[in-house]
Amino acid sequence: MSEDKTAEIVLSLEIDDPALADRLAVLLSNVAGLRLAAPGETAAATIVARDPRIMPEDIALTQRELDVLALMAEGASNKMIARQLGISVHTVKFHVGSLLDKLDATGRTDAVAHAARRGVIEL
């Protein structure tokens, strides 16, 4: 093997739609310099396609709610968020309440999970 300048790029597939996965697998199997990962093999990159029907409408969050949400995702308590943003704990609770409402969540943990799922925040 020595100096194979065109080292293969290993790709893995994580696609919900079996038909799409199949078509891609066929197409990609014929590309030189590229290979699909064997089961358990570590890939250089992953082809993902999650069910798109999940995020039709994006949530309308105010800037302040996004601020609070971001800090929540870092595991900050209401008190820490209040200090960070220079506002009172009551106000933080107010925004958290709005977030739980808009994100249809039962608690702050659920809220960041939902937000992450919908791409509102990046973990």
Partner DNA sequence: CCATGTCCTGGCCACCCGGCCAGTTTCGCA
Partner DNA sequence: TGCGAAACTGGCCGGGTGGCCAGGACATGG
Q: Which stretch binds a copy of itself (CB under 8 A): 53-61, 62-70, 87-95, 108-116?
A: 108-116
Q: Is 115 in the site for DNA (CB under 7 A)?
A: no
Q: Does 120 bind a copy of itself (CB under 8 A)?
A: no
Single-letter code of the amino acid located at 113: A
- Residue 31 CA to residue 14 CA, distance in Å, equals 19
Residue 31 near which of a copy of itself, DNA, none (CB within 5-8 Å, type-dependent): a copy of itself
8 Å CB contact between 13 and 21 = yes
Radius of gyration of the chain (CA): 21
Q: Locate 44 and state its tokens.
A: 């250089």
Binding site for a copy of itself (CB under 8 A): 9, 11, 15, 20, 23-24, 27-28, 30-34, 42, 44-49, 52, 72-75, 77, 105-113, 116-117, 123
